[in-house]
Amino acid sequence: MKIARNIANVAATLVLGDLLARQVATAVYASPDAVQSIRRLLMSVGVLKPDSSYDIDGPLLIAILVVSVAIVGVAVWAINIGARRYRQAAHH
């Protein structure tokens, strides 16, 4: 039972994280200057050199996916804790 719950939690986290990442990426790329603004931000903090021809689209999409999955993972974890506490309170 615990293995099935863990598999369901991981599956929900990955699927919902992917859906969130798609929404965020769509919003980021819908704005005409969003990627250039991110590029300028990375240059100002020293991550990219001003003359760099490095394409940030791939790493940006991966970063959006990782952050989205992490956010959804925390939400699923919090829901699991809330559900566990609710079940414990209902039994007492």
CA distances, 8 to each of 13, 22, 71 (Å): 8, 21, 17
Alpha-carbon distance of 48 to 46, in angstroms, equals 5
pTM summary value: 0.80
Alpha-carbon distance of 38 to 14, in angstroms, equals 26
Residues 20-60: tens digit of each pLDDT: 999 999 998 888 788 888 888 888 887 777 777 677 788 88
pLDDT of residue 53: 67
pLDDT of residue 17: 97
The angle subtended at Cα 82 by Cα 10 and Cα 74, nearest 5°, is: 40
